[in-house]
Structure 1
Amino acid sequence: MLQSKEIRGPAWLTATALVAALTGCSNAVVLNPAGDIAAQQGDLVMLATFLMLLIIVPVILLTFFFAWKYRQSNTEAEYDPDFHHSTKLELVIWTAPLIIVIILGAITWISTHKLDPYRPLDRIDHARPLAENVQPLTVEVVAMDWKWLFFYPEQGIATVNELAAPVDRPIHFKLTSTTTMNAFYVPDLAGMIYAMPGMQTELNAVINKEGVYKGMSSHYSGPGFSGMTFKFHGLSNEGFAEWIAKAKAEGKTLDRTTYLDLAKPTERHPVERYGNVDPKLYHTVLNRCVEEGQMCMHTMMAIDKAGGESYARAKGLNLSADICTTEDAAKITAALEPGVATEAVIQQ
């Protein structure tokens, strides 16, 4: 049988290793991110944890204290078998948790609105407000099987499994998906946001430090899920301009035909860059009408808003009960009044 001295050494080594591991948690991305939105979310985690510990720690300490004080061998402890109520004790037990719940509720309500992913940014970081003339960088994101496609409409480029943005410039993400729900997540940038087929979600964020950060899918979406990662580059304005120029110099074209080939499921897809991109491609992906002959969802919605099948018949279209077929798409689209089929999208 092992003696206590024989196991004391390994026990101390194990304890030391655990302490060292916990010390490393101080550099965890969620609590030490490079973006302001992620930093505010990390502060919320710490604040909520601290408030909850105000109850948890005293309860744990008092548990040990009572067990020690009222142990069987302590003959000096007061023994009162008829005790059944204490107003002071009841006030302490109920008032302290109630105050903490109220504080947590207020913080949650305020932060839910302040950190709403759809809400445009009003600051660069805790010390710098957003200048009035700063325009956010728009990035259109498509979650595919199993890769990420990023459109830069202002720059006219697109990339696969590579994302970049200038430091201290707000980024406005518009996200959708091709076949299944997914989740876009760059821990250093902001919390995750879902991407769903036929719908558009939004995320506003900013990166405050130059570097290369990990991006991933945080929602299981099939066998290629584990390799659905990308690198997010935080660059200076000059570095971002060079990155854009490099993508354009590669000269690849992304149109409907190229996209349909790209949309086929692949695993651990390499980085690709496209310098010539169909400007309407993202909207056709969002509205699920990339293939020729498909009716776009915004066209369907325009028809429904105008009266549905009765509207189509009023325009002189003798259609079957199901007016959303590929055969009828061209006729309906041609018959719509100008301005009816707007680029409306279904948003979450």
Structure 2
Amino acid sequence: MKIKCNTKVALMLTAVLSLVLLGLLFSTNMVLFDPKGPIGEAQQSLIVTSVLLMAIIIVPVLFMSVYFPYKYRHTNTEAEYKPNWEHSTKIEIIVWAVPCLIILALGWVTYHSTFALDPRKDIVSDKKPLTIQVVAMNWKWLFIYPEQQIATVNEVRFPIDRPVEFLVTSDTTMNSFFIPQLGSQVYAMAGMENRVNLLASEQGIYRGVSANYSGYGFANMRFKAHATDEAAFGQWISDVKAADAQLDEETYAGLTANAKEQIKVPHPVTYYASVEPLKFKDIIEKHSGAQNGL
């Protein structure tokens, strides 16, 4: 009687804990499952497909971990007892064939998505891509618009339904450039240029982060990504060009020098009406040794 009671309690606790975990899971802000562009949607589909394939093994195992102890409990005298049992061909086939098939399926999905979701792959569109140069700094993000000759700190804007090519580098330690609702994070590394092509299909303000820990001020490596229509984007460009500040050598040196102040306080959004045309190239060459003739 005592064992039967304990079994029921264990089953109830398992059910309650499962419900609590599910509640916590679906109560969080899962931006990866709220994509706002074709790349994010494809990656969401990949995540769901992979989880469902793996659930083919996980769900039966979770079920049997509860069912077997209950069925073969000490008080169940009707359970079949086979002390000399040692082999079952059916079980061997199941426990080997099913995982192998799942691995093959996951391998095919991974192979296909690796090429389909290559961050450097151009997004097919009838609109000309917008190029934005991204520089990870301590502890802020610098965005340079080479065609518009403007720059911003901790804010980036682009029109919807237009491909955006982000050229990413770092003027400090390695970071990771990531707008979760648009998809495809890429590393920002000093002396190197990385690329990622993204597209927003809905207007909104999306969270941008660094997904790679980079030091004590890492918590402030955040920015806002604004997806607007073409008219609003053009007006914003005009507003930035009307700003007083210019991103010259002295201003850039100031951005680098005040890094210690932003360990606890994030750098405010800043607009620069003009920027040196080769600033992004100079930042890369500063770390690659090209400036020193290496």
Do both share a fold (TM > 0.5)?
yes
Match of 1:155 in 2: 148
Which residue number in structure 1 is paired with residue 139 of structure 2? 146
Aligned match of 2:122: 120
Aligned residue for 2:206, secondary structure, equals strand
Q: Are the counterparts in 1 of residues 184 and 196 from structure 2 also a CA contact under 8 Å?
A: no
Distance 1:241 1:228 in 2: 27
Verify the 8 A CA contact 1:248 1:275 in the aligned structure 2: yes
| Matching of residues 168-247 of structure 1 within 5 Å | 168-247=161-240
* Structure 1 position 211, deviation (Å): 0.9
Contact 1:166 1:240 survives alignment (8 Å):
yes
Q: Given the alignment of the two structures, is residue 49 of structure 1 paired with residue 51 of structure 2, yes or no?
A: yes
Q: CA deviation at 1:13?
A: 11
Deviation at 1:223, TM superposition (A): 2.4
Q: Offset of 1:35 from its aligned partner?
A: 2.1
**2:73 counterpart residue number:** 71
The 1:65–1:248 alpha-carbon spacing in structure 2 relative to 1, beyond 3 Å, is: same
CA 1:59–1:19: 2 relative to 1, 3 Å: closer
Matches of 1:41 and 1:148, distance apart in 2 = 25
Residue type of the alignment partner of 2:138: D
Alignment partners' CA distance in 2, 1:19 and 1:143: 36
Contact 1:251 1:276 in 2 (8 A): no
Mapped to 1, the partners of 2:52 and 2:141 lie a distance apart of 37
Match of 2:283 among 279, 282, 285: 285
Could you list the runs of 5+ residues in structure 1 that have no partner in the other structure?
1-11, 123-129, 290-294, 302-348
Give 1:79 shift: 1.7
Q: Deviation of residue 29 (structure 1)?
A: 0.4
Query: What percentage of aligned pairs have identical amino acids?
Result: 41
Matched to 1:62, the amino acid is: M
Which residue number in structure 2 is paired with residue 34 of structure 1?
36
2:110 maps to: 108
Q: Is the 8 A contact 2:134 2:143 kept in 1?
A: yes
- Give the aligned residue type for 1:160: V
8 Å CA contact retained: 2:160, 2:199: yes
Larger radius of gyration between Structure 1 and Structure 2: 1
Q: In the aligned structure 2, how far is the partner of 1:174 from the partner of 1:300? A: 24
Q: How many residues align?
A: 275
Aligned to 1:83: 85
2:134–2:141 Cα contact (<8 Å) kept: yes
CA deviation after TM superposition for structure 1 residue 198, in Å: 0.6
With structure 2 as the length reference, what TM-score do the two structures score? 0.86
Return the offset for 1:89. 1.2
Q: Which runs of 4+ in 1 moved over 4 A?
A: 12-20
Compute the displacement of 1:237 (Å). Answer: 0.5
Output one character per residue of 1:266-323: Cα deviation in whole Å (capped at 9) or x when no partner.
Answer: 411111111111111111111118xxxxx9617736xxxxxxxxxxxxxxxxxxxxxx
Q: CA deviation at 1:14?
A: 9.7
Higher relative contact order (CA 8 A, sep 6+): 2
Equivalent position SS for 2:166: strand
What are the Cα deviations for residues 120-159 of structure 1, in whole angstroms up to 9, with x where unaligned? Answer: 123xxxxxxx33xx22110000111111110101111111
2:9 is aligned to none
- Other structure's SS at 2:62 match: helix
1:182 aligned partner, one-letter code: N
Deviation by residue 1:184-209 (Cα, 9 ceiling, x = unmatched): 11111213211111111111111111
Instruction: Structure 2: give runs of 5+ residues left out of the alignment.
Output: 1-14
1:81-140, Cα deviation, whole Å (9 max, x unpaired): 221111111111111111111000110111111111111123xxxxxxx33xx2211000
CA contact (8 A) 1:256 1:281 kept: no
Q: Normalising to structure 1: TM-score of the pair?
A: 0.74
Greater shift in the superposed pair: 40-49 or 63-72: 63-72
- Give the superposition deviation at 1:255: 1.9
Q: Is the 8 A contact 1:217 1:229 kept in 2?
A: yes
Distance 1:99 1:78, change over 3 A: same
Two-structure CA RMSD over aligned residues (Å): 2.3
Deviation for aligned residue 1:77: 2.3
CA offsets per residue over residues 5-35 of structure 1, 9 Å max, x none?
xxxxxxx99998766544434x620111212
- Distance between the aligned counterparts of 1:51 and 1:15, measured in 2? 20
Structure 1 residues 175 and 21, CA, compared in 2 at 3 Å: closer, same or farther? same
